Structure 1
């Protein structure tokens, strides 16, 4: 396949031109030192956002999906759900994809612009991709190497999260300004752009939407800057429908390897839907969430007639020794195999059971969706930001956009639309204009948490920013600095071993993270203590 060849070329190039942890200071004289953005971009997207199952598992499924409580671990083989740090997962799942696949390649192409002005618009799209990655890496680790990173140096200073966020605003706004000029003589992306196939207008919408995301992230810690940037973003073109969703198609992975991303990990029986997730879908409104069958499977035990419980989730952080108990077993708890992921579990009648991949639905990996933009606008509205529109209208539009997105491609009869209005207008979902700020914020973030599923990195960041939705403390924390019995949660990931060894002076500086240093119980800059 043509795209596979492009990825092979890019991988080969990056074997020479990219460094892992900045340790290779000397360039191979035979290396390819100048590459086309058309070859680099798919590598930045594919590797940088973990379209390979191993890296996806190490980042999302073994860290952020557990920490935002979309899923719960059910195998004694893994203990990151008990807050045990695994360096390999953090490095391969987060650190290396950002620094090697994204930032390093951005720096490489930047150096060629004087010689190749026709690359300029393609470079602006690379800036947007990297800005998305930059936001994620600093949200996960706090202060990180940024301004001097990606230049081939081992001893790289760390920059404050505030400075990084301020530069992200600059990167996004400048990229949009240049792309809007529609200059002549510019080369453009095509199929090698795994997200928008070179559609510049959609990249502009994504960049503006990301700017609004970043602004909302700072709304508690830096409200003036947040409002300035958020108001500016609201004046620009944002995502207006699910057609604008920033999707990375997993069909590439399926064609090459035969499996979608989430499905194989589910099929290995290493996790199930969390108790938090199932309870949220069952009890937030007066009726079950209409998305329930799209997000969670019926329990295997219910299908086979062994149990009367149709949907059930596992508490997060169950002790490894207790996972063998029947109540935590995979058979008695719901998988994340709703029709959203293309499996036949839910169309099995009670008494028969065929939980096998259907192969009919290929779900993309969504980096940002229209539903999120609606919820961002809803929060901007309750904060009084100019141009945000009506809070209730944005909030309900976000829920409806999520309904539409999750139903796309689902087989007939696997969901119903008949109770959508009841869900929207009853229970804790119902919007009251006269409710106080905290009540409305909790509603917005709870629905955002559901509506952006399975974007776990963003869901975890929003919990740490707001304290919503109301997550359950893990049953057992094996991290001495986090006392789950006192309701404490993990705050971030610590720095990876490669940094602590090769960049020790910078990675262990006492001034990091507002003078708090490093550790999984250290809050990042925008985390203002709204949860334990």
Structure 2
């Protein structure tokens, strides 16, 4: 009997010495697949991907391409956008994009804090990259919606109804953040290089600095209606990309280009007659046919172009579509050809005496050779530009705007939309605008901005009051285009 008692005591003693403390149990109960403290080298990869695929390349791009008539919405929700049938004035239209943008910025804010004063203080490379992405996403947010929650945002459980911050203030934050990023990217970091975790530049700080300067050039030109500074634009351009291999873009073999995926899944976007007519008005422009695919309208019929007449054609999936669609196309966040058009415009606006087409020719050349499935590298660009009959400075400025617009098809419609609104303010009216849109609904229903997301309109009284019935999207410009918010 004593023998069994001794054995039992030994077992109890063994259990007591090996039992789990509360801390140990907490460790056991942790979900290793959902960590709460992720090293920034992994978190920054996720932020790059969401910036490109969820924010730049998704609904914002699809819808703005319709408003600016680079594409036509022939079916489903895109047809509703084409005909302004509840979209874009409904708060639900961009709710997914709204939430994705704020989530991306929140994650980037955590990275910035961690690399500035947290556990990875001194990780200057990741800090600088996060600041560039943060500034880019903030600009994307305010360019689309105008005044938005910012200074009181990103505080879950603390501030439940953040106030709206003025776009003028937000642009100051954008510039300061980009300038800080450039400084940090020039510092020596003791942390390992990002390498393949950097899906955009593979840890090349010099290219990130060029991207930051390019964005500074873009945003400085964006403010040209409010506070023009073309010398500063050109200074930033001189410090940015020198070829298309340096441009700020995302190409991920594991994730198809969003336009390809959207076309493959839905088939809602079609060839815009408005775009075709503009291209067709230019002598020997190879994009007149090169941008579009012919279709068979009926079985056995010959292949023909069938263009959707913007705002007028019936809902159908029986129209021509883009010839540029390809799953391997990059998502452009700032392209080399856009940078060269920025340079050309800044030079032309500095002086009414400027009529040289040299910078325009360089920009068009870059556009014809852009990194997409179809390019037009065999075109004699000098001859093409000479045929545009540019005589005056006004001619030059208008052609820069039009050619830049052409170059944005199809993956850069957000910037085409921003540019159209900026120039609408500068030229004073739609009739004087270099780009003449065709949708007859634009007379009263051109979207001057996008509506706030329903997630916050329904829970934040500050946004609810600003949103009203949503019809403000047709009447109120954003601040940099002459509006008050």
TM class by shorter chain equals: 0.7 to 0.9
Instruction: Give the C-alpha shift of residue 190 in structure 1.
Output: 1.8
State the structure with bigger RCO (CA 8 A, min sep 6), 1 or 2: 2
Structure 1 unaligned regions, length at least 5: 1-27, 255-259, 324-328, 343-360, 477-483
Indicate whether 1:139 and 2:143 are aligned: yes
Structure 1 distance, partners of 2:54, 2:455, is 23
Structure 2 distance, partners of 1:423, 1:302, is 36
Instruction: Give the C-alpha shift of residue 229 in structure 1.
Output: 4.6
Query: What does 1:128-207 align with in structure 2 at a 5 Å threshold?
Result: 128-152=132-156, 153-181=159-187, 183-207=188-212
Query: What does 1:44-123 align with in structure 2 at a 5 Å threshold?
Result: 44-50=47-53, 56-61=57-62, 63-77=63-77, 78-83=79-84, 84-85=87-88, 86-93=90-97, 95-101=98-104, 103-113=105-115, 114=117, 115-123=119-127
Structure 2 distance, partners of 1:417, 1:304, is 34
Structure 2 distance, partners of 1:456, 1:474, is 17
Specify whether residues 383 and 303 from structure 1 end up closer, same or farther in structure 2 by C-alpha distance, changes over 3 A only. farther
Q: Could you tell me which of 435, 443, 447 is aligned with 2:399?
A: 443
- TM-score, with length taken from structure 1: 0.73
Query: What does 1:386-465 align with in structure 2 at a 5 Å threshold?
Result: 392-406=357-371, 410=374, 417-427=378-388, 430-432=389-391, 435-437=392-394, 439-453=395-409, 454-465=411-422
Specify whether residues 57 and 246 from structure 1 end up closer, same or farther in structure 2 by C-alpha distance, changes over 3 A only. closer
Instruction: Give the C-alpha shift of residue 420 in structure 1.
Output: 3.7
* Partner secondary structure for residue 502 of structure 1: coil
Instruction: Give the C-alpha shift of residue 105 in structure 1.
Output: 1.2
Which protein shows a greater Rg?
A: 2
Indicate whether 1:334 and 2:330 are aligned: no
Structure 2 distance, partners of 1:390, 1:245, is 28
Structure 2 distance, partners of 1:264, 1:184, is 39
Structure 2 unaligned regions, length at least 5: 1-30, 425-432
Specify whether residues 76 and 418 from structure 1 end up closer, same or farther in structure 2 by C-alpha distance, changes over 3 A only. closer
Structure 2 distance, partners of 1:81, 1:473, is 11
Q: What residue in structure 2 maps to residue 318 of structure 1?
A: 312
Q: Could you tell me which of 204, 209, 214 is aligned with 2:214?
A: 209
Specify whether residues 208 and 278 from structure 1 end up closer, same or farther in structure 2 by C-alpha distance, changes over 3 A only. same
Specify whether residues 316 and 367 from structure 1 end up closer, same or farther in structure 2 by C-alpha distance, changes over 3 A only. same
Instruction: Give the C-alpha shift of residue 416 in structure 1.
Output: 7.0
Indicate whether 1:126 and 2:124 are aligned: no
Number of aligned positions between the proteins: 431
Q: Conserved in 2, the CA contact under 8 Å of 1:341 and 1:363?
A: yes
Instruction: Give the C-alpha shift of residue 401 in structure 1.
Output: 0.5
Q: Conserved in 2, the CA contact under 8 Å of 1:124 and 1:179?
A: yes
Instruction: Give the C-alpha shift of residue 163 in structure 1.
Output: 0.8
